[in-house]
Structure 1
């Protein structure tokens, strides 16, 4: 958390540096920072260059860069001073919802030599969200015959923050008829309840207007309110009662439309129309609930009516009302908690970031070629992903952090044997049956001048007539070079030639550095002169 004042900030930075040094000494390769959400643009996060052991002067030459998967633009690094700062608005609730842990993972990459660092920036919650009730007004219809200590369910407020910032307390406006009962255990299961503490009399008071206030535990605290409009009803004096106040259901995601979730049962001690019960969702039900489930008003059956996706919603909370046909009607309530069970319906996702377009054939083992990250939106074993590489190639995958890998060179290369590799990355999850994703990576091997020119044979014998004029073509030799491009261009030159004995020649490669075919490409050229009989020579003189 950033503090104001140069002395406090200096002390904090000193403490942060000591903790970071201790972490490096124990062998950790990860740097941790924290910053509050909603911090202003330019807010200091950490001296990232210093904490990673990088000199400021080398940030630009070494192509210092920061990558953040799905979080681009939130954080930035000043290359002049090596400071990581807030670049744009960070909303913790938008990033992580109500998750207790929330952080941004950064990959810091520098070249020459290539280094990859991992930095975690924790986003701390601030109290920037007030409690919110499902509706600003709620109508309650309560019979004047309801006995003392009767309970009436209310939907509590929700707060998008976490921890103490989301710890809610409730207060009911002063009145002589009702008190508020707040659950002390699991608020998810037990709703708020109004408790009748004084008998109602419609002829004395036919309507009550109360205000329910929710206050969170943040500093400063924030509040939300809902108005309770209570109408006192006459006669029909028995409300429907469910078998249970809370039903717990487990439902597989991707359940088909029409799948039965539960068949509710409520009873009413009244007779005739006063005991005829109709079921429905509570009046303040969300649109998502109505889009995903439907309820039969007569049978109380709740069935799947839309898409059930574990990756979107893991727990459904349905508030159900049972109302009789009395005049006036009476209501009963229950809560249904539907836990969505994950199935393996998401294949892993592969993201490959190539660092080298081609790799020299003399590159040393351990050279990093590409960075790979894998994600799986399922949960548990369905989200545990393993990566493999095919076919059998001189490369391997090295795990760097959680679901991050590096593709590195594992053994020596020879372009003259293989000039390009077509690799297939396979990410497979732990589901049953498992799902997999493949990605193709092409690695080109760049040539280096590591082959000398070679003649077709080490020695040639050529016969030539004597008295040939100067410049007359005698014989042609050729040499080949296994390298590519300019490394394979060959120049030939002679090493000497006499009339009586053949000379020799050498071939010179044009690569950098040049490879001379000596003595492997040395060729011996023997020239034998066809002797003309002396008698014929003398005859010619006559």
Structure 2
């Protein structure tokens, strides 16, 4: 510390003062320094970094900074060595007036982690102000009849310093009639006493010099000239009823309020008894006009506005003077104490605010620092701080006196609450209490803590076969409650189990699914795969959904008659009875359902001798044929049609020759050797084709009832698992009947499952979503039945 140029004794005293105030108090969180006022720029105050336990090398990285609340930049810290020094001269009297303790509070803030230290620098007074009197000359009038020992009060000097620098002593210039009387105890009464009788004829006027000395080093002095006029005759001065009046007033007292009524009496008679009151002085002098007195009544009234925070006490020196030819005076003091009123609203300042707050922030993190102040005193200056609304993941923690930190006490979730608006309310303990509030907005920063999710775990899509390459068949969409890149979702196919790139593709941004090639129901009936969704956060999170693509059959295959040999006629012996079945045509259709349900018709409906079963393909005679009609070969053209839209058909030629009985035996033997596809009525199983179709319809209704019962018992929906194997897809078409395809199905699944044909009956609920093509929604109800079950049924 640099010591001003005041002498060796001053240096010793200041050294002791510095050693006393720079030591840490045990258990205190405040650092205390002391520095002299008027110290020059650069004056050493203390090694603040070392005293706070900080390394000099970390001051800059941790953004070491010093904040002085409301007192300007009187101090700075050298970040190169961690020394606190004086930045600008400090006038203690201007800063703290007559306050016995003058200190500047500093906040030292460092980041990473955030810490706040409180440093108090006491401004030590130096003797830089000389005592002064309010007037350079004071006139006194004293009757010559006053006795030895009579006391006459004098107006004391004032000193802007404090402590020992403001402790005054007085000295009166040497004379033989008066002696100084100064009592340091009590009210510091100052005056002089007559030590020798006065004689106006000898000395009518006495001129003395009163000198005031302060207790500082070096000593400062001030003087006033006393002009004492010796009066004659009127020897009884006015006397006040009490020498000191003590008054208490509220600071909100209105202008004109009666402060006090002083009263003095005079033992003289006549005009010498009439008294006039006046105010000689008011301390502090700058407020000398704030009071006025009625000269006749002695009533002192308020002539302005009081402010406890500016001045909390006044001293009025009043005088009572009689109206004698040589007026005499009496004196008294009026001491006024101002009582504090709760007239200052608490003030709040947010000195630090960390926003946005990441939602994964640890508990106990300080989000904001708040300082509270109230200019009032006592209970009026004591404040409480609270948050509204009460249910918040934050709370206020008192750190030092009226300093609070907003601390995180509960986990955050931005997806639940993206921003907190809170009101910080401060309230003092005055009567009535005053309060203030400030709104804090704390946004929550997003972290990637939510994976993309789909609306449902499985989607079922129906696509007609023979679709154009690149056709859009479905769109998947996943949502992510995060924001920005954490919610930016991209899609791709999971091909770990099955290579799907030749069948299906997905647009990475839109989630649209495309069929890369035409699908053939006769080759592929089901594609089951997974689409994954990934966000763009760090690290990224994924979700997946299962897609089941069912290929719907179209009538794209013409019925085919198998193994028919036109050059091998059927030889029948005559006679032939009406209704006699002579053979049956076998035809197959590679399609499924109604597209594979065949019907048979004669091309020439006028062939009166023969007819063909509409669905059985059995050819029978419509009338009895006699032997007379033998050796006639009749060719029948049979038209085979399916039930698809449009209808596809083919033709088959059936030749019948009637021969005598002897030739019929030979033709039967030859027919058995040819192995042709036109067979006799012995193949009785095919007669029940219609019965089988009706059985399938009945079985379907039974399965639907069982399925509904199972759905009512189970809450969870089980996803179907397929593997490569054989199955038959049986669908209810828009016509309303049932059919089946005897062709084996190929099912390609993107999830693991048992290979081979299924031995159970699987039903897809009518509530499953279906694809929309050509602007029409396809409402289908499908049953997959194993080949073994169908064979048993048919």
Both structures adopt the same fold (TM-score exceeding 0.5): yes
Q: What are the within-5 Å matches in structure 2 for residues 295-314 of structure 1? A: 295-314=293-312
Q: Distance in 2 between matches of 1:18 and 1:164?
A: 18
Instruction: Write out per-residue CA displacement over residues 397-452 of structure 1, whole angstroms, 9 at most, x where no aligned residue.
Output: 11111111111111111111111111111111111221111111111111111111
DSSP-derived class of the 2:467 partner: coil
Which residue of the partner structure matches residue 315 of structure 2? 317
Contact 1:139 1:230 in 2 (8 A): yes
Q: CA deviation at 1:467?
A: 2.2
Which residue of the partner structure matches residue 405 of structure 1? 404
Q: Does 1:473 align with 2:472?
A: yes
Q: What are the within-5 Å matches in structure 2 for residues 136-147 of structure 1? A: 136-147=136-147
CA separation of 1:283/1:262 partners in 2, compared to 1, >3 Å: closer, same or farther?
A: closer
Contact 1:363 1:412 in 2 (8 A): yes
Q: CA deviation at 1:284?
A: 7.5
Instruction: Write out per-residue CA displacement over residues 171-224 of structure 1, whole angstroms, 9 at most, x where no aligned residue.
Output: 0001111111001312xx353111111222222212121111111111111111
Contiguous gaps of at least 5 residues in structure 1? none
Q: Distance in 2 between matches of 1:3 and 1:291?
A: 41
Contact 1:268 1:275 in 2 (8 A): yes
Q: Distance in 1 between matches of 2:245 and 2:49?
A: 55
Which residue of the partner structure matches residue 59 of structure 2? 59
Contact 1:358 1:445 in 2 (8 A): yes
Which residue of the partner structure matches residue 259 of structure 1? 257
More displaced 10-residue stretch of structure 1: 40-49 or 300-309: 300-309
Which residue of the partner structure matches residue 361 of structure 1? 359
Which residue of the partner structure matches residue 153 of structure 1? 153
Q: Distance in 2 between matches of 1:72 and 1:453?
A: 54
* TM-score normalised over the length of structure 1: 0.92
Q: Distance in 2 between matches of 1:312 and 1:44?
A: 32
Q: Does 1:526 align with 2:548?
A: yes
Q: Distance in 2 between matches of 1:469 and 1:126?
A: 100
Contact 1:155 1:191 in 2 (8 A): no
* TM-score normalised over the length of structure 2: 0.63
Q: Distance in 2 between matches of 1:363 and 1:283?
A: 65
DSSP-derived class of the 1:433 partner: coil
Which residue of the partner structure matches residue 293 of structure 1? 291
Which residue of the partner structure matches residue 233 of structure 1? 231
Which residue of the partner structure matches residue 382 of structure 1? 380
Contact 2:21 2:33 in 1 (8 A): no
Q: Does 1:128 align with 2:150?
A: no
Contact 1:135 1:284 in 2 (8 A): no
Which residue of the partner structure matches residue 346 of structure 1? 344
Instruction: Write out per-residue CA displacement over residues 501-522 of structure 1, whole angstroms, 9 at most, x where no aligned residue.
Output: 22210111012222222xxxx1
Q: Distance in 2 between matches of 1:243 and 1:219?
A: 42
CA separation of 1:19/1:68 partners in 2, compared to 1, >3 Å: closer, same or farther?
A: closer
CA separation of 1:190/1:64 partners in 2, compared to 1, >3 Å: closer, same or farther?
A: closer
Contiguous gaps of at least 5 residues in structure 2? 5-10, 504-523, 560-588, 591-640, 642-647, 651-794
Which residue of the partner structure matches residue 393 of structure 2? 394
DSSP-derived class of the 1:487 partner: helix
Q: CA deviation at 1:18?
A: 13
Contact 1:134 1:284 in 2 (8 A): no
DSSP-derived class of the 2:268 partner: coil
Q: Distance in 2 between matches of 1:19 and 1:305?
A: 46
Which residue of the partner structure matches residue 80 of structure 2? 80
Structure index of larger Rg: 2
Q: What are the within-5 Å matches in structure 2 for residues 94-105 of structure 1? A: 94-105=94-105
Q: Distance in 2 between matches of 1:286 and 1:437?
A: 33
Q: What are the within-5 Å matches in structure 2 for residues 30-69 of structure 1? A: 30-69=30-69
Q: Distance in 2 between matches of 1:439 and 1:532?
A: 72
Contact 1:253 1:310 in 2 (8 A): yes
Q: Does 1:501 align with 2:523?
A: no
Contact 2:2 2:39 in 1 (8 A): no
CA separation of 1:453/1:431 partners in 2, compared to 1, >3 Å: closer, same or farther?
A: same
Q: Does 1:172 align with 2:180?
A: no
Contact 1:451 1:515 in 2 (8 A): yes
RMSD: 2.5
Contact 2:388 2:424 in 1 (8 A): yes
